[in-house]
Structure 1
Amino acid sequence: MKNITNKLINISQECAAVTKNGKNDYHNYSYTQAQDVAKAINSAFTKHRIASTVSHEVLHFDTTTNKSGKEERIVTVKATVTLIDTETGEYVTTTGLGSGQDLGDKAVMKAETAALKYAYIQAFNMSCCGADPEADLSVDERMIGTDVQKPRKTIQKPASTTVQTCSSCTKEISPNIAEYSQRIFNRPLCIACQNRH
């Protein structure tokens, strides 16, 4: 498994962070789009000769009634992703879970998209610039009303533009990787050293 794991470390380094280009105008928040995750992953996979296959499994399907009295479908899906090194045949699998809720027929598609997006984000330790799925209030507001208290906006300091080095191997790292590592490990680490820790 040495060849594929080395490639996956390189992919993790190249896909360390994804920006939040999506904008929900109704609730006024930004989010990481599935297409941006796919674009970063596909580019790295092609470069390092990694093929992937995906299968989805519906784990749960239910209906609920929102505050307007309309029935919504709620679906939870598991995405199983197989990553194959096309040069050696070595492969690894990873999974992700996603849920989708919709008035119409899009609940399964929303769940599949979320499951695949988070399978990649978690497998490659991708930082989504503070994106947190628990911060989405849209479902809460539909279910219990519009009196959900929204969190106060916080001002984030811009990432440092100075070049930093890994505190473990002294390799140069980008400001985004350094910032993420500082939050998680309390010191700047490159992707490879983060994986070791």
Structure 2
Amino acid sequence: MTDEKPKPKNYIPLAIKISNANKNIGAIAKDRNNVYQKYAFQSEAAIKAAVQRVIWENQFAIIPKFEILEREQQKTQKGGINNFVYVQGTFTITDGVETIVGTMPGAGSDTGEKAVQKACTSAQKYFYKQLFNITDKDEDPDAQDSSSSGGYVNRDNRKPVKPNTGNSQSLRNYQINYKGQMVPMYIVVKHASEGNQEAKDFANTLQGKDMDVFKQLAKEGITS
């Protein structure tokens, strides 16, 4: 959805500002490691720092809002409680003149009180990755990746590279019947990597293509 007000002279359209930010943000390095699944992943801090830099330079803002869709609790084998939360994130992109609104779902689990925050983080992180086409790695081996300190790579001076033909998006879209409902497989990977015993047990029952997708998601660090 888009909205707009009267435009000042020499106004740069919001879509072009987003496109410029998209071009300049570069690939973000995998700066964290998951000990359980033994894979590297991009942290929330690294993605937010890189995004904040380019949206500031291109003079627009992204305002998040989250709605809780569902909550549930499950007992762990040790008698504890694991909280699961599913949210819908709404993200308002605006430069004060034009406005674009996008949405992204998110899921999070925690044995404490952080399930809501994790679900919101998942939605925001994945929305940023889709909006700015943030890659897990840089195809150009001579280039320098963005860092969690807020640095980013300007792609303008890079040598042309072949487009990434990986199947990360199809992996993210792969769904399975988990706890009685169809959910993306990456949610199972996320829960298992966070130590949820039910998710671990469920993963051990996977076979064939389901197991292949689970392993590939874990290997690539795709949990959102």
Which TM-score applies when normalising by structure 2?
0.59
Q: Which range moved further: 33-42 or 137-146?
A: 137-146
Query: Per-residue deviation at 1:62?
Result: 0.9
Q: Which runs of 5+ in 1 are unaligned?
A: 157-197
Answer 1 or 2: higher relative contact order, Cα 8 Å, separation at least 6: 2
Please, what is the CA RMSD of the aligned residues? 3.0
Query: Per-residue deviation at 1:34?
Result: 0.8
1:95 aligns with 2:150: no
Residue identity opposite 1:128 in structure 2: D
Alignment of 1:42-121 (within 5 A): 42-86=52-96, 89-121=97-129
Partner of 2:49 in structure 1? 39
Match of 2:27, SS state, is: coil
Match of 1:93, SS state, is: strand
Distance 1:75 1:13, change over 3 A: same
**Structure 2: distance between partners of 1:95 and 1:146:** 29
Query: Per-residue deviation at 1:146?
Result: 9.5
**Structure 1: distance between partners of 2:194 and 2:49:** 28
Deviations 1:123-180 (A, max 9, x none): 222112387682544258611549837848xx99xxxxxxxxxxxxxxxxxxxxxxxx
Query: Per-residue deviation at 1:81?
Result: 1.0
1:27 aligns with 2:37: yes
Identity of aligned residues (%): 25
Residue identity opposite 2:197 in structure 1: R
Partner of 1:142 in structure 2? 197
Distance 1:51 1:146, change over 3 A: closer
Distance 1:114 1:18, change over 3 A: same
Instruction: Say whether the 8 Å CA contact 2:14–2:99 is kept in structure 1.
Output: yes
**Structure 1: distance between partners of 2:94 and 2:98:** 6
Deviations 1:42-62 (A, max 9, x none): 000110000221111101111
Query: Per-residue deviation at 1:68?
Result: 3.0
**Structure 1: distance between partners of 2:72 and 2:32:** 28
